[in-house]
């Protein structure tokens, strides 16, 4: 639902009048000047009863005029609740929640350089971020009815109207349908995702379980669908185009905000080429331009065989998919804020072992990661310095304010039992979400968010 700010203003007049008449006290701190006894003025007084003072703040505009500044510290008009993935059950970490003052602009198409610190669309009046449990408190919100609210992570964005917000109190929103991301594009904005299948990991089932509607899955020919499917190695589909059509052309990949690249059971260089050749150069160009990729197991090839020597230097990747000897779990690194948030989020999401989640299989493709170039999130429990999960910003080695893209690699199989093949998404996926799929969901949304140094806490988005 698109919320039009001007429409909301009409029903806010009474609330603004209350804030002026009842909340300003005897001193008329509202900024109105009625000393002349007339509400008109001659222009020099600012018009419509406003006085002009060179030392005063500029007059408020739009919904900002309905923010009550007289509540006092600790009693601010506040909106509180929990934001969710499209399925309405999985909490969202690091989602931006804000009240826009104007209509938000349409989302740009394709891969873009989205760095943290930029002002969100619509001139936000007040902003906050959701915590690791999805909960948020948004202070100094406008008072009145049908107040617009935006929930956003990268190009996931939903606009809703809060039926009523009462002044100088905490307004708790309990309707899950108001505080979840869109299931389909008719409900809001969704990133354009390319999913490549593979015979050894059913990553696509997570997209369905996280709440994306079946109507949003299609192929390159379906321009209005959010998820386009490509057939990778050792898998079969329902007439989906081959994956090499995607990754051998940077311009094709740049139409997508993120790529989810399922394990193909081998390095499968037949559909990629050798190190540094066409597909690897195209992938490097895509990521440098703001593209995001998610990989598991043998898809380490995109790092190990990259055309970019800086990317190849991120870590030592012997490869070959040897199974981890210490069992099928990963010990998560809680030494940095986002790593700690991941463990807390898994607990909130119902994981049975949030600090050391289990997967269908864990591999030992990675022997080391250069921590000056990438962030390690998890290690082999029996070898605490041997990485199993890492993220890397691109172009590798540049300052974070010059980086635009990102890769996430989890050295596991997330889902060996579900099948992304003929009949998908209607069939092939179990209903229950595995812990590994929850981890995948966390990183999918994190991958969609703005680029920052992953060792730092997420920065609060600014207001304009």
Q: For residue 147, what are the β-bridge partners? A: 162
Provide the CATH number for the domain around residue 413: 3.40.50.880
Q: Are the C-beta atoms of 65 and 16 separated by less than 8 Å?
A: yes
Q: What is the reported pLDDT for 277?
A: 87
Q: Which of these three, 122, 154, 178, is where a domain ends?
A: 178
User: CB under 8 Å to 126, separation ≥6 — which residues?
Assistant: 67, 98, 99, 138, 139, 140, 141, 463
| 170 within domain boundaries | yes
- Strand pairing of 144-153 and 124-129? unpaired
| Cα dist from 129 to 152, 372, 414, whole Å | 10, 27, 28
Residues 142 and 106 in one domain: yes
Task: Say how many domains are in the chain.
Answer: 2
User: CB under 8 Å to 32, separation ≥6 — which residues?
Assistant: 20, 49, 50, 51
| 309 within domain boundaries | yes
Residues 174 and 237 in one domain: no
Residues 204 and 123 in one domain: no
Provide the CATH number for the domain around residue 96: 2.60.40.10
How far, rounded to the nearest angstrom, does the alpha carbon of residue 248 sit from its chain's CA centroid? 27
Quote the pTM value.
0.88
Q: Which of these three, 178, 211, 239, is where a domain ends?
A: 178
Q: Which of these three, 116, 148, 178, is where a domain ends?
A: 178
Q: Are the C-beta atoms of 318 and 367 separated by less than 8 Å?
A: yes
Expressed in angstroms, the distance from the first to the final Cα of the chain is 24
| Helix 435-448 vs helix 337-348: crossing angle, to nearest 10 | 130
Q: What is the reported pLDDT for 59?
A: 85
| 118 within domain boundaries | yes
| 183 within domain boundaries | no
Residues 302 and 261 in one domain: yes
* For residue 395, cis peptide bond before it (omega within 30 degrees of 0): yes
| 136 within domain boundaries | yes
| 461 within domain boundaries | no
Four-residue CA torsion sign, 367, 372, 377, 381: positive
Residues 253 and 128 in one domain: no
Residues 121 and 220 in one domain: no
Which residue has 């921590």 as its token pair? 371
- Strand pairing of 193-196 and 258-261? parallel
Four-residue CA torsion sign, 238, 192, 174, 13: negative
Give me the helices (H) in 272-414, please. 278-288, 301-304, 309-312, 337-348
Residues 106 and 242 in one domain: no
Residues 398 and 274 in one domain: yes
Residues 219 and 286 in one domain: yes
Q: Report how far residue 419's alpha carbon sits from residue 421's, in angstroms, rounded to the nearest whole number.
A: 6
Q: What is the reported pLDDT for 237?
A: 77
Q: Are the C-beta atoms of 367 and 390 separated by less than 8 Å?
A: no
Residues 334 and 277 in one domain: yes
| 187 within domain boundaries | no
Q: Are the C-beta atoms of 156 and 191 separated by less than 8 Å?
A: yes
| 422 within domain boundaries | yes
- Burial class from Cβ neighbours inside 10 Å (0-12, 13-18, 19+) for residue 238 reads exposed
* Domain around 278: 193-448
Residues 71 and 200 in one domain: no
Residues 241 and 139 in one domain: no
Consecutive 10-residue averages of pLDDT for the chain (464 residues)? 44 40 34 32 31 57 95 96 98 98 97 95 97 98 98 98 98 98 98 97 97 97 96 90 97 98 97 92 98 98 97 98 95 98 98 96 98 98 97 97 98 95 94 94 98 97 86
């Amino acid at each position: 639902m698109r919320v039009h700010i001007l429409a909301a203003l009409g029903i806010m007049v009474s609330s603004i009048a209350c804030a002026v008449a009842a909340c300003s006290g005897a001193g008329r701190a509202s900024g109105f000047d009625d000393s002349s006894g007339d509400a008109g003025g001659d222009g020099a007084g600012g018009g419509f009863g406003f006085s002009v003072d060179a030392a005063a703040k500029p007059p408020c505009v739009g919904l900002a005029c309905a923010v009550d500044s007289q509540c006092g510290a600790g009693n601010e008009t506040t909106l509180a609740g929990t934001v969710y993935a499209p399925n309405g059950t999985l909490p969202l970490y690091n989602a931006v929640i804000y009240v826009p003052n104007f209509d938000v602009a349409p989302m740009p198409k394709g891969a873009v350089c989205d760095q943290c610190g930029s002002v969100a669309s619509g001139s936000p009046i007040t902003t906050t971020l959701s915590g690791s449990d999805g909960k948020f408190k948004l202070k100094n919100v406008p008072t009145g009815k049908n107040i617009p609210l935006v929930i956003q992570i990268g190009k996931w964005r939903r606009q809703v109207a809060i039926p009523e917000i009462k002044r100088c109190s905490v307004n708790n929103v309990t309707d899950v349908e108001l505080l979840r991301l869109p299931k389909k594009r008719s409900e809001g904005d969704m990133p354009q995702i390319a999913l490549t299948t593979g015979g050894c990991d059913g990553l696509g089932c997570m997209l369905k379980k996280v709440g994306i509607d079946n109507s949003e899955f299609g192929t390159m020919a379906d321009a209005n669908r959010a998820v386009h499917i490509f057939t990778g190695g050792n898998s079969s589909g329902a007439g989906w185009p081959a994956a090499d059509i995607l990754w051998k052309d940077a311009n094709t990949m740049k139409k997508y905000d993120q790529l989810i690249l399922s394990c193909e059971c081998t390095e499968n260089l037949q559909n990629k080429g050798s190190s540094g050749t066409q597909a690897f150069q195209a992938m490097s160009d895509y990521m440098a331009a703001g593209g995001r990729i998610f990989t598991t197991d043998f898809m380490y090839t995109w790092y190990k065989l990259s055309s970019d020597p800086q990317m190849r230097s991120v870590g030592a990747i012997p490869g070959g998919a040897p199974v981890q000897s210490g069992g099928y779990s990963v010990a998560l690194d809680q030494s940095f804020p986002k790593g700690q948030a991941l463990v807390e989020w898994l607990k909130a999401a119902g994981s049975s072992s949030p600090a050391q989640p289990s997967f269908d299989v864990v591999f030992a493709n990675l022997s080391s990661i250069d921590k000056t170039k990438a962030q390690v999130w998890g290690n082999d429990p029996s070898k605490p310095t041997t990485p199993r999960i890492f993220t890397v910003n691109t172009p590798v080695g540049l300052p974070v304010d010059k980086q635009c893209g990102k890769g996430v690699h989890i050295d596991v199989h997330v889902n060996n039992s579900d099948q992304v093949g003929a009949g998908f998404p209607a069939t092939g996926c179990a209903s229950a979400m595995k812990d590994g799929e929850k981890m995948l969901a966390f990183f999918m949304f994190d991958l969609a968010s703005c680029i920052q140094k992953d060792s730092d806490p997420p920065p609060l988005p600014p207001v304009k």
